[in-house]
Amino acid sequence: MQNRRQFLRNSALVVATLAVPKTSFAFPGNKRHSSNKMKLSWTPYNLQLNHTFTISGYSRTTTPVVLTKIEYEGLEGYGEASLPQYLGETQASVIDFLKKIDFSAFNDPTHIEEILEYVDGIAEKNTAAKASVDIALHDLVGKIIGASWYKMYGLNKADVPDTTFTIGIDTDEVVREKTREAIGRFHILKVKVGGPDDKRMIEAIRSVTDLPLSVDANQGWKDREQALDMIFWLKEHGVVMVEQPMSKTDFDNIAWLTRHSPLPIFADESVQRLADVERTKGVFSGINIKLMKCTGMHEAWKMRNLAKALGMKVMIGCMTETSCAISAAAQLSSGLDFADLDGALLISNDCYNGATLQNGKIIATDLPGIGAIPNRDISFGRD
């Protein structure tokens, strides 16, 4: 067993450092046949936000998630599906999807490409559900190999951008309160805009701090000329990037805005999966990769490297998530332009320990896999 793990470790390091890898870990002599060794289980869980979270369109105080686990030969891999309402997935839909998964045809978890191709083909969309399996599988394989994924990717876990800390649309008093909470812990703030009072939001923050800002309009701006005027104003007030300024399908106007903008423009809702990356070239300056949008780490790694090959900037983002999914995303953040990995810091009931905030950065642990472990009993099942 030890010789096999050493072989897997060495082979994985070679495969994982390819520019856009086909990370299947399908080694000679490993044949697929009927087996019940891999066991998938899950449980719904509700995240409690520290503050009401408002973006352009809606507010919420909780985020439903589904936690997953894959067991194999005494090892456990952990995953997560985070389900903000705009994704269109629910705990019930995720569980329905997970019930359709049958691992009996797969004898070896290290056949990542093959397994995830099967999972992706079960049904369209369901990206967060698929991500929960992807993350758990990566965690499991990392534990089999005995290495964290940032090492297998050939990355330096310390070479990561500062994470933003998100401030939702709110009253001046609450905005100032949230800003004060961030001072001394973060080096850059992310501000939700796209409403009628964008300047008021920025001015409230500027009454407290001069930290650099990024803004996320969540498709809230409707007129490109007004959006451009706002971006010039934002630049004068210390904003360094703009995320998804207009409708995700309005590529012509966003391309015009990007050409004239003094700040980089990043796609969020406009780019979901690998197939979307190339068509954003020339429309946006960069892309925001989120595991819940793109089905997990396997596709996120490919998106990251394709975007870089196209000369685009790359940001790694998150939903409101536990430290399980955040730790998975942290494995990919080295060498990127921006990070927005504060999801676990926005909740009061994180049920995992994992990547931590260190001097304004989310830093992965050195534990094998994704580097997250439960900090309380979690009752996984299949019902």
Predicted confidence (pLDDT) per residue in 119-140, tens digit: 999 999 999 999 999 999 999 9
Mean pLDDT score, 86-96 = 95
Residue-level pLDDT at 86: 84
Q: How far apart are CA 310 and CA 344, in angstroms?
A: 31
Domain count, the chain: 2
Residue 33 has pLDDT above 50, yes or no: no
The pLDDT of residue 56: 62
Nearest to 134 by CA among 211, 203, 210, 70: 70
- pLDDT score, position 31: 34
Does one domain contain both 246 and 323?
yes
Mean pLDDT across 195-210: 96
Res 58 pLDDT > 80? no
Domain that holds residue 13: 2-151
Do 146 and 168 fall within a single domain? no
Tell me the mean pLDDT in the region 83-102: 96
Among the three residues 151, 166, 188, which one is the final residue of a domain in this structure?
151
Burial classification of residue 352, based on how many CB atoms lie within 10 Å of its CB (0-12 exposed, 13-18 middle, 19 or more buried): buried
Contact 241, 266 (CB under 8 A): yes
Q: Are residues 86 and 177 in the same domain?
A: no
- Give the gyration radius of the chain's Cα atoms: 20
52 and 65, same structural domain? Answer: yes
C-alpha to C-alpha distance for 236 and 106, rounded to whole angstroms: 56
Task: Let me know: does 270 contact 244? Beta carbons within 8 Å.
Answer: yes
Look at residue 54 in the predicted model and tell me its pLDDT: 72
Distance CA 64, CA 220 (A): 24
CATH number of the domain where residue 64 is located: 3.30.390.10
pLDDT of residue 52: 81
Residues 147 and 159 in one domain: no
CA 254 – CA 303 distance, rounded (Å): 21
Question: Do 219 and 363 reside in the same domain of the chain?
Answer: yes
Query: Can you give the pLDDT at residue 148?
Result: 98
Question: What pTM, to 2 d.p., does this model score?
Answer: 0.91
Structure tokens at 33: 């046949």
State the average pLDDT over residues 132-159: 98
Kindly report which listed range (24-33, 60-69, 209-218) carries the lowest average pLDDT score.
24-33
Q: CB–CB of 128/304 below 8 Å?
A: no
For the stretch 220-257, pLDDT in tens is 999 999 999 999 999 999 999 999 999 999 999 999 99
| Predicted pLDDT at 113 | 98
